[in-house]
Amino acid sequence: MINPDIERLIAILQVVPTFHKRPYPAISPLRPELSQLGKTVLVTGAAEGIGLSIARNFARASVSKVIILDVNRNALFAAASQLRAEIEDASGVTIVDPRVCSVGDISESDTIWSSLSKEGILVDVLVLNAVCYGPEEPLLNSGRDAIWSSSDVNVRALFVHTQHFYKQVGHVQQKIAKDVKPEKLQVISFQLGEVLTESAKRHGYIKDTIEWYDEDLSGQFAVWTATPEAAFLHGRFVFAAWDVDDMMSEEFQEHLADPYYLKVGIKGL
């Protein structure tokens, strides 16, 4: 039975008329306008679930190379084999490049980006999907090390990988997303939706807990955000469930005149 209390807790912001829990034509990776041909994408936390779906949908959009990172070697290489088989079946062109990395570990992250540079690989699209759920106990009962470990993945790793990504194209350091134009570095954050991934199952969730989202909604939305069509959302936080045509409507565009609309930050700083 669907749990109405959980459904209420995860209700999304109603800023557009249309919501989706399944993929729809406007974000299909098969649309020529969303083609990623000639590009390289790097996805963290890509051994399963939403990260794997994101990698899969970039492959469907004909990305030239998809680099998938994960801390779990066995799961990562199994995912790579699965992706390669799917790409071959679809007569695709994508090269799958799995690399073991704990994204919360600065040394391992530095090594990954150093290796890419030495190999002459330029990453065009970076998808920071890896997450650490953290301890389930109350904050003060969890202990410093447990809290800090989760923050290494959920906070510090975002900056570390973004900085490496930014520096590879020789930009002068600026406040990312606030001062960088989307033509140079397009930055969009989005809420993925609740997906019944293997990780969710390991945390005790089941099919009937809520009405789950299709993982391909997030995967295809990620591809769309990496295209010029989504440039107007640069620096903003949106939901994958929001209809992209609604967001491109004149009514929605009027809201974007507010420089703080759908942006995460603290006014006054």
Instruction: Answer yes or no: is 142 within a domain.
Output: yes
More confident site: 200 or 238? 238
User: 99 pairs with which residues across the strands?
Assistant: 69
Q: Which two tokens stand for residue 4?
A: 């109405």
Query: Can you give the CATH number for the domain in which 85 is found?
Result: 3.40.50.720
The total number of structural domains that make up the chain = 1
Instruction: Tell me the whole-structure pTM to 2 decimals.
Output: 0.86
What residue ranges in the chain does DSSP mark as E strands? 40-43, 65-70, 95-100, 125-127, 189-191, 237-239
For residue 126, the cross-strand partners are 42
Is there a domain that residue 30 lies in?
A: yes
Give residue for tokens 């073991």: 100
Contact 219, 53 (CB under 8 A): yes
Say yes or no to pLDDT of 170 above 60. no
Using CA atoms, how far residue 101 sits from 83, 108, 116, 118, in Å, is 19, 6, 13, 17
In a domain, 269, yes or no: no
Decide if 49 is inside a domain: yes
Q: How confident is the model at residue 110 (pLDDT cuts 50, 70, 90)?
A: very high
Domain hosting 251: range is 4-255
Distance CA(268)–CA(13), nearest Å, equals: 24
Does a structural domain hold residue 194? yes
Residue showing tokens 């034509």: 25
Residue 261 covered by a domain: no
List alpha helices for 90-192, DSSP H. 106-118, 139-142, 144-151, 157-167
Residue 260 lies in a domain: no
Q: State how far the Cα of 24 lies from the Cα of 220, in Å rounded to an integer.
A: 9
Tell whether the model's pLDDT for residue 195 goes beyond 70: yes
Specify if 27 maps to a domain: yes
